[in-house]
Amino acid sequence: MKTQKVIISIYAIAILSGFILTGCSTEQMSDTPALKDVFEDYHLIGTAMNVNQVDGNDENSVGLIVKHFNSVTPENMMKWEKIHPEPGEYNFEPVDSFVSFGQKSNMFIVGHTLVWHSQTPGWVFENENGEPTCRDTLLSRMKNHIFTVAGRYKDNIGGWDVVNETFYDDGSFRQSPWYEIIGEDYIEKAFEWAYEAAPGVELYYNDYNMWHAGKRDAVVKLVKDFQQKGIRIDGIGLQGHWGLDYPPMDELEESMRAYSELGVKIMITELDMDVLPIPEGVEGAEISQKFEMKKELNPFPNGLPDSMKFVQADRYAEYFNLFNKFRDNLSRVTFWGIQDGHSWRNYWPVRGRAAYPLLFDRNFQPKPAFDAVIKTVTGK
Ligand code: XIL
């Protein structure tokens, strides 16, 4: 009897330590409130997902995704270079798994993104001699891509970032190959074809630095122009790669108001708010910008001090207090990832920094920022 008891206790200890060692004791097992429940009457709460999570190699993240989020966006899987790397060659497998995960978990699935200058292979813009291709060819490549990709997922996806980052901060057109080869009507063509390919899906324009007055005016003009011409556009995505001292809250509020007044949905689509210094005043998310690593740009290589965690929490609360004001128009807030260690901000705009932009730390534990965000709704 005594021996049996001892064996049972050893077994219990083993199970318990197994929990700890395998990570089963992570946050999803605790009684922390679920973000999606707290914000149920406000907006969807989304996250970006990467291939590791879709493949089931990162169970801790998946646990948090299922518990806290009701919307998912693929971080890279649907970008042209991933889903359509060569002419006529499509790589649907990871996206199919992503979509089926989203469906099984009752998520609002976002497609990201159909037309962008970045992460698009060079061949898209070139002829057989490696020179820029002509307008008609590029239009037909774009049309085929949209019909193939948006068409395939037309019954599974809730909304598409149809065009990403078409304007500079001052509101002028980005001199991308899309613009240079086709001209400014590539944007409306993309939306028209996305609508034809997937008529039941919401269609969004998505960009960073949407709080800049110049970009605000350009986007407002674009949406009004579409509305006048009868071209479907359902929403505006503000990416949200922000920092401790930008964007200015009043500018952000001004933009959220201007976009709301257009009668389209607004959403924060890629939220990550880092506490690291920004090299040479780089704000936004111009992914072509890269800076050399310097010690002073990486002030917290071994962990974020508590004091900084609370500074970040306050800043997150400021954002969410603003978002809450727009609850009638704000349909979704999507974080760009789950936990700090996996964030792209560890390698952009400076490779190799320790970044801390998200609500969960490297051990999958909620940070003070998590509590602060919840408190903006519950008051406690
Ligand atoms: C980023 C991804 O997070 C990185 O993994 C990738 O290396 C580069 O792109 N704006 C966007 C997102 O619309 O697609 C970008 O995502 C971040 C900036």
Look at residue 31 in the predicted model and tell me its pLDDT.
81
Cα(354)–Cα(299) distance, integer angstroms: 8
Regions in the chain scoring below 50 on pLDDT: 1-25
Give residue 329's pLDDT: 97
Per-residue model confidence (pLDDT) at position 7 = 35
Q: Residue written as tokens 């760009």?
A: 336
Give me ligand 1 centre to Cα 285, in Å.
8
In this prediction, residue 26 carries a pLDDT of 55
Most ligand 1 atoms within 8 A of CB, residue of 336, 338, 346 to mutate: 336
The Cα–Cα gap between 206 and 351 comes to 25
How many other C-beta atoms can be found within 10 angstroms of the C-beta atom of residue 108?
A: 20
pLDDT score recorded for residue 27 = 61
Beta bridge partners of 126: 132
Tokens of 298: 């990486």
Residue nearest atom 10 in ligand 1 by C-alpha distance: 285
Q: Hey, which of 54, 75, 207, 286 would you mutate to test ligand 1's pocket, going by the most ligand atoms within 8 Å of its Cβ?
A: 75
| Closest ligand 1 atom, residue 112 Cα | 14
Q: How far is it, in rounded angstroms, from Cα 204 to Cα 187?
A: 11
Q: What share of the chain is helix, strand, coil (3-state, %, to 5)?
A: 45, 15, 40
Write out the DSSP string of 28-46. GGS-PPPHHHHTTTT-EEE
Q: CB–CB of 16/53 below 8 Å? A: no
Q: How far is CA 320 from CA 231, 249, 253, 275, in A?
A: 32, 11, 12, 17
Q: Please tell me the distance from the alpha carbon of residue 282 to that of residue 285, in angstroms, as a whole number.
A: 8
Distance 76 CA to ligand 1 centre (A): 7
pLDDT digit string (tens) for 293-343? 999 999 999 999 999 999 999 999 999 999 999 999 999 999 999 999 999
Q: Which candidate, 89, 101, 92, places its Cα nearest to that of 57?
A: 101
Catalytic residue among 165, 192, 202, 286: 165
- Identify the pLDDT of residue 12: 37
pLDDT in tens, 284-304: 889 989 999 999 999 999 999
59 is catalytic: no
Q: Give me the pLDDT at residue 28, please.
A: 54
E strand or H helix that includes residue 207: strand 202-207
Task: For residue 286, indicate whether it is catalytic.
Answer: no
